[in-house]
Amino acid sequence: VRVLCGKDLLYEAPTDGPVLTIENYHNPRSQAGAGGGFGSALDDIAPVAAVVQDQGTKQLLYGTENGKIGQLFMDANLMRRGFAVDPVLENRRSKAGGVFCAATEDITKDGVKDLLIGRDDGLVEVWS
């Protein structure tokens, strides 16, 4: 993932495959060092190194052509990786469709945004 300002490269971070979608994520209830504020579903399989999340830190969620889901943290100085989930390695699926779209919304009404993933094979996943 590359972030540009005009022709200037501001940030660059490697991903686990060609990125098809990126979602800006902000959750006022997320805690520093947590898996982005999602419920236990992501916390169990996607531990994240402690990251100081101040007012200037932004979280980006991305989905790749080969079905992986990842998180990036971006602040004024650098971009760093958070979690990366491979559904095949997690034994959740034998083959993962590409992540065609991603959205965040509190559909479970627990005050924490859930991650919704739409895959190119028609599967819709809700990570709560």
CB–CB of 16/86 below 8 Å?
yes
pTM attached to this predicted model? 0.72
pLDDT in tens, 35-47: 444 444 444 433 3
Which residues neighbour 66 within 8 Å (Cβ) at sequence distance 6 or greater?
16, 17, 18, 96, 98
Helix (H/G/I), strand (E/B), else coil: 40:
helix
Q: Locate tokens 């100085």: which residue?
A: 77
pLDDT digits over 70-107, tens only? 999 988 888 889 888 887 777 666 677 899 999 989 99
The model's confidence at residue 112, banded by pLDDT at 50, 70 and 90, is confident
> Is 51 in contact with 41 (CB distance < 8 Å)?
no
Q: Are 110 and 39 in contact (CB under 8 A)?
A: yes
Out of 1-5, 28-32, 46-50, 96-100, least confident range: 46-50
Give the DSSP letter of residue 97. P
Question: What's phi and psi for 42, nearest 5 deg?
Answer: -85, -35
Closest of 72, 71, 58 to residue 115, by C-alpha = 71
Asked if residue 114 lies in contact with residue 106, where contact means CB atoms within 8 angstroms, the answer is yes
Taking the alpha carbons at both ends of the chain, their separation in whole angstroms is 25
